[in-house]
Chains A and B, each alone.
Chain A
């Protein structure tokens, strides 16, 4: 039954409490059918204020334990009320709802995230790795503190190449995620590197361990080796200047789109537009996860509609809750005035 009362297994701060991020683990029937990119429509309290449910993405799925994880940022009264809920309580949840990301059969999967847009991509990364895809993450955030709070450690543990950026330049490139993404695309022309995934994984695994150990012992000064590891990670995330240059030697010829390259994009609207335009222009399969205010969450109220266009340019409306939240990047009409 998609209307369920999930048990709160654990609920607390994610990373530094000052970042206002929370991690909520629910046990119940949602896990059995949940797919990456789907969301839950959560009734945050039993009261009539705040009234509406809040849509929150499924960040991780553990079918064996019948658990799903939701990661969220406390923004306003809905998420504030949700933050009060305690382990052991039951949460009234609709879902899993929506279509989710499509998981390619083979090839490369690039995940591109802005800020907390990272949350729904973790489950996708896990699913992609389980299928043997070559997974790579581009992620931009406010600061090093934010990225570390929002799960950089867990991402490092996946041992995939990470390309990071921060607005304040405290980790990775300075700027939005389009900086490392654009840099990597340029270095590799339009194609991905031929360097084996295994080699890259091996390297990033070491870097990740180093980064992880430093993070896990805050306040403890990093050893020289660890510090070197972090620097190596930073070099890679800063736009692959060192290693990336070498890799691109084996990249695809300019203008020729690589085979089997899919992008999954989630973040603020402007960032998704910029990223989608980069990918669509190169002929990649780009999927974006859109956000709209929701009331019903099931397709009944038409509150969440966005404009899309087909191959012939004909425009129509789609419901983010039911037809999305994931849409092909080429279909989305980004600037809608009417």
Chain B
């Protein structure tokens, strides 16, 4: 059935709920890890229940002080950051943050980071026992200290190993968050699928650098930083498209979303939900506007549920080109 045949959906309420494997969200818009603190900071600007879910700042087993200033700089339509995973550590997170987080009227996703496979396993074991966590998001864009600092996320074998270690320790839905700093994102997607991930989220930030020409030195204290914001959106959409073709797992797409059209773009490319990171910095009410726009789009186009949008640009392209198309 073609979308424009679904006349009966017009005017009716649009179903915003989405199911991603074992993770059900009341709507497909999630706050991206590291840009939304611990759910409290934006409270006065936009109610937290607006979000389908929130991914909290990445947690490591031990507290981390992060990188020296400056940690941020702005690039054309983008943000370059080198926060360096500053976080209170697992123990403090459980004691001072989780009790409040678990009572929030939205799905709470805990983002975890480590420097060894054991770090990830420990975090998963401990967090897996806690109530009020909807899913774990495994940030594999971290240097693996055992392997000379090479990122887990740029090596398929390490990525699979980390995800498998987390999988063994918890029954919570496991989201593997992919790094875009690779030659073939499909290879990493297949690796985390083999490792037992339930969901894939992408993209994390693109490694970048900025140099102050007057002072002739790198702007960031850490030299390199992660690029986010509208500048990276085309890269992110392309990678979602590729991953949708490569694996059967549901996808959370992100990278530069600042409006509803951007969110729709990710859904059409193959995402089942989207995350918004840097967009919050620009406009704290961005989730409200995205949801409103998404609903309006579905209504205008005759969709009764946002879930119908997932991968539609791919299936329609396949139909138009008369090519057989199968996922997975």
Q: B-contacting residues of A (Cβ < 8 Å)?
A: 1-3, 43, 48-53, 78, 92, 94, 292-307, 315-317, 322, 336-338
Which residues of the other chain, A, contact B83 by a CB distance below 8 angstroms? 301-303, 305
Could you write out 28 A-B pairs with CB less than 8 Å apart? A2-B44, A43-B282, A48-B229, A51-B79, A51-B282, A52-B74, A53-B281, A53-B282, A78-B74, A92-B283, A292-B70, A294-B72, A295-B35, A295-B79, A295-B278, A295-B281, A296-B280, A300-B42, A301-B35, A301-B281, A302-B66, A302-B83, A302-B86, A303-B81, A305-B86, A306-B69, A315-B65, A336-B69
Which residues of the other chain, A, contact B77 by a CB distance below 8 angstroms? 48-49, 51
Beyond known contacts A293-B71, A297-B281: 11 more, CB 8 A cutoff: A48-B258, A51-B74, A51-B281, A293-B69, A295-B72, A296-B37, A298-B37, A301-B72, A303-B71, A304-B72, A305-B66
Which residues of the other chain, A, contact B280 by a CB distance below 8 angstroms? 296, 300
Contact pick for B69, options A92, A292, A315, CB 8 Å: A292
Given A293-B70, A305-B86: A52 in contact with B79 (beta carbons within 8 A): yes
> In angstroms, how far is the closest chain B Cβ from the Cβ of A95?
11
Given A2-B45, A48-B258, A49-B76: A299 in contact with B278 (beta carbons within 8 A): no
Q: Are B281 and A296 touching (Cβ within 8 A)?
A: yes
Which residues of the other chain, A, contact B284 by a CB distance below 8 angstroms? 3, 94, 298
- What secondary structure prevails in chain A residues at the interface with B? loop
Q: Are A51 and B71 touching (Cβ within 8 A)?
A: no
Q: Are A293 and B37 touching (Cβ within 8 A)?
A: no
Query: Please, how many angstroms separate the alpha-carbon atoms of A336 and B84 in the complex?
Result: 15
> In angstroms, how far is the closest chain B Cβ from the Cβ of A48?
5
Q: Are A337 and B35 touching (Cβ within 8 A)?
A: no
Q: Are B71 and A298 touching (Cβ within 8 A)?
A: no
Which residues of the other chain, A, contact B285 by a CB distance below 8 angstroms? 3
Contact pick for B42, options A43, A298, A316, A338, CB 8 Å: A298
Q: Are A51 and B229 touching (Cβ within 8 A)?
A: yes
Q: Are B86 and A317 touching (Cβ within 8 A)?
A: yes
Q: Is B34 an interface residue (CB 8 A)?
A: yes
> In angstroms, how far is the closest chain A Cβ from the Cβ of B44?
5
Residues of chain B in range 86-129 having any CB-CB distance to chain A below 8 Å: 86
Query: Please, how many angstroms separate the alpha-carbon atoms of A52 and B280 in the complex?
Result: 10
> In angstroms, how far is the closest chain A Cβ from the Cβ of B258?
6
Q: Is B230 an interface residue (CB 8 A)?
A: yes
Q: Are B45 and A94 touching (Cβ within 8 A)?
A: yes
Q: A-contacting residues of B (Cβ < 8 Å)?
A: 34-37, 41-42, 44-45, 57, 65-66, 68-74, 76-79, 81, 83, 86, 229-230, 258, 278, 280-285
Which residues of the other chain, B, contact A48 by a CB distance below 8 angstroms? 77, 229-230, 258, 282
Which residues of the other chain, B, contact A78 by a CB distance below 8 angstroms? 74
Q: Are A298 and B45 touching (Cβ within 8 A)?
A: yes
Q: Are A300 and B37 touching (Cβ within 8 A)?
A: yes
Query: Please, how many angstroms separate the alpha-carbon atoms of A315 and B285 in the complex?
Result: 35
Q: Are A337 and B68 touching (Cβ within 8 A)?
A: yes
Query: Please, how many angstroms separate the alpha-carbon atoms of A117 and B265 in the complex?
Result: 45
In the complex, which residue of chain A has the Cβ closest to the Cβ of B256? A48
Given A48-B258, A51-B78: A296 in contact with B35 (beta carbons within 8 A): yes
Which residues of the other chain, A, contact B86 by a CB distance below 8 angstroms? 302, 305, 317
Query: Please, how many angstroms separate the alpha-carbon atoms of A50 and B45 in the complex?
Result: 22
Q: Are B71 and A52 touching (Cβ within 8 A)?
A: no
- Which of B65, B72, B79, B230 has the largest count of A CB atoms less than 10 A from its CB? B72
Contact pick for A301, options B34, B65, B73, CB 8 Å: B34
Q: Are B72 and A303 touching (Cβ within 8 A)?
A: yes
Q: Are A50 and B69 touching (Cβ within 8 A)?
A: no
- Which of B41, B66, B78 has the largest count of A CB atoms less than 10 A from its CB? B41
> In angstroms, how far is the closest chain B Cβ from the Cβ of A73?
16
Which residues of the other chain, A, contact B81 by a CB distance below 8 angstroms? 295, 301, 303
> In angstroms, how far is the closest chain A Cβ from the Cβ of B236?
15
Query: Please, how many angstroms separate the alpha-carbon atoms of A305 and B72 in the complex?
Result: 10
Query: Please, how many angstroms separate the alpha-carbon atoms of A51 and B76 in the complex?
Result: 8
Which residues of the other chain, B, contact A303 by a CB distance below 8 angstroms? 71-72, 81, 83
Query: Please, how many angstroms separate the alpha-carbon atoms of A53 and B229 in the complex?
Result: 13
Which residues of the other chain, A, contact B45 by a CB distance below 8 angstroms? 2-3, 94, 298
Which residues of the other chain, B, contact A305 by a CB distance below 8 angstroms? 66, 69, 71, 83, 86
Query: Please, how many angstroms separate the alpha-carbon atoms of A53 and B283 in the complex?
Result: 9
Query: Please, how many angstroms separate the alpha-carbon atoms of A53 and B71 in the complex?
Result: 16
Q: Are B41 and A299 touching (Cβ within 8 A)?
A: yes
> In angstroms, how far is the closest chain A Cβ from the Cβ of B142?
16
